[in-house]
Structure 1
Amino acid sequence: MWRTMYECHQFQNDISLQLNHLTDSQGVDLTTDYHHQATSQLETEVTSWYLSFCKLVKYQQGYVRTLCRWIKLTDCLVDDNQHSRSSAVRSLCEEWQLLVDRLPDKPFGCHPNDNAAAGAEHNLHKKSDKLEKRFHKELFSLAEMEKKVHWSLADEDMQSDLSPKHPLSIKRAKTEALKKRVDSEKTKYLNSIQVTKVMTLNKLQTGLPCVFQALMGFSGLLLRPLWLFTAMADQ
């Protein structure tokens, strides 16, 4: 099992290293709801996989400890030459237990699925979208007010006669201020898209190889009992 895992993680590591050949595109592609759902699903799957792997290691440690205790109970068994049948197997199991007892509590310390940037982008998108909807309502309200006072936006002479304290002037100023807020928030949102893309690519380029290399070292360590067993069998 550990040899298969080692080979698979080695293959995954080779693939993940190919991400270094990717470069960030300067184009701004809006993040869709599908992207958010896919990111959320990825986070759920990675978390589930990580917890399952930790359980596997814990069960492996428990299995080896139980096996060592059982082997000790067979010391009384001897072969035709009055040699203990379990001495070699016991040595193997003790070596195996030393290995699993030295395993870290967590198989690796790096995590490629930090979603903080995507979360910030999502919040900015919601804020920008909310302000834009509010701005459109203000525009509609302004148009209705202009109809009621019979002023035209295209008539500059009549606009100049408006007092700054006139309700229509106040409404226009309010709408213009809201428009600036909308533009500002939209700029922040578009910038956050680019930041998220850069951070995501960077985390994939650095995080995935880190994970797979750690897993290769982890599974490679647990291959030692197999090598010991093979050496014993050859003897």
Structure 2
Amino acid sequence: MWKAMLKCHQKQFQAIMESKMRKLRAKTDPLTDTSSRATTELERELRAWCERFNEWISSQKSYVESLNGWLLQCLQYEPEETPDGPVPYSPGRLGAPPIFIICNDWKQAMEAVSEARVANAMNTFATSLRQLWEKQDEEGRQRLKAEYLSKDYEKQLRAHLAERGKIKLEQDAMSDNTRLSVVPSDNGVSPLDDLKVDLDSMKQKLAEERIKHKDAMKLVHDAASSSLQGGLVPIFKALENFTSEALKAHEHVRLQHPQQSS
């Protein structure tokens, strides 16, 4: 099993290294939140993968530990005490049947490998995906702010142009002697001038919000690229190393023993 898994993870790692991950970019859809949903789903699947992997290894260790403990009871084994401490349990030294030796070797093999590095790599990637989602969420809010301000600006601009057109028509309809002038407000500024000032201020604000949105999109793209490059490679490398260590550890399980002479 471990040999087949090692070949599989080696191929996966090689495929990741040969892929064009550096050209991957996050796709930001201006009409939907599919990108952020995909990121959330990937994070959820990754954490579930990590949990199942840990449970799989833990169940193997628990199984062989229970089996070895049950067999140990059949021997009525009493640990031998020495000045240096108790002598390690060795069913072969006790002349126990092969199944006792196999299970004890198997238990030691499982204890020799640790899944911590694989779990750490998966959790690190999941954390980076969470950070990516936060940047996507911020980009979405910034996009909505820019869109709202753009619509408001266009509405005010149309109102300003309509008012100017109305006044021009009224002025054109009058003779030169009775031409209507724009009535100024109490502070000496006409309503059109007030609206023009508001439009200029809104236009400046819109330009600032668009710059913020552009910066937010760049952060999303950079975070997505770094997450994929910095997340997948360590995971599959850790899986390759883990299965390699497990294979080497299980090679010490003595499945065949010389038959005792009668």
Instruction: Give the shorter-chain TM-score range.
Output: 0.7 to 0.9
The RMSD of aligned alpha carbons is 3.6
Q: Note the alpha carbon deviations across 1:71-102, whole angstroms, 9 max, x for none.
A: 313436xxxxx9311441243133134225x5
Which position in structure 1 is the counterpart of 2:232?
208
1:145-224 to 2 correspondence within 5 Å?
145-146=163-164, 150-151=167-168, 165-224=189-248
Residue type matched to 1:93 in 2?
W
Q: Note the alpha carbon deviations across 1:95-126, whole angstroms, 9 max, x for none.
A: 134225x5438722431534143333223222
Is 1:138 the equivalent of 2:156? yes
The structural deviation recorded for 1:222 is 2.6
Which structure: larger Rg?
Answer: 2
1:1-235 to 2 correspondence within 5 Å?
1-19=1-19, 22-23=22-23, 30-32=28-30, 33=32, 34-75=34-75, 83-85=95-97, 86-99=99-112, 102-104=114-116, 107-109=119-121, 110-111=124-125, 113=129, 114-115=131-132, 116-146=134-164, 150-151=167-168, 165-229=189-253, 231-233=254-256
Residue type matched to 1:121 in 2?
E
The structural deviation recorded for 1:212 is 0.9
Tell me the SS of whatever aligns to 2:255.
helix
The structural deviation recorded for 1:183 is 1.7
Residue type matched to 1:189 in 2?
H
Residue type matched to 1:219 in 2?
T
TM-score by length of 2: 0.67
Residue type matched to 1:18 in 2?
E
Which runs of 5 or more residues in structure 1 are unaligned? 77-81, 153-157
The structural deviation recorded for 1:161 is 9.0
The structural deviation recorded for 1:24 is 7.1
CA 1:225–1:187: 2 relative to 1, 3 Å: same
Q: Tell me, in whole angstroms, the C-alpha distance in 2 between the residues paired with 1:38 and 1:24.
A: 15
The share of aligned pairs that are identical, in percent, is: 19
Residue type matched to 2:191 in 1?
P
TM-score by length of 1: 0.74
Which runs of 5 or more residues in structure 2 are unaligned? 77-93, 170-179
The alignment covers a number of residue pairs equal to: 222
The structural deviation recorded for 1:219 is 2.7
Residue type matched to 2:154 in 1?
H
CA 1:54–1:83: 2 relative to 1, 3 Å: closer
Residue type matched to 1:5 in 2?
M
Q: Tell me, in whole angstroms, the C-alpha distance in 1 between the residues paired with 2:110 and 2:71.
A: 12
The structural deviation recorded for 1:8 is 2.5
Tell me the SS of whatever aligns to 1:83.
coil
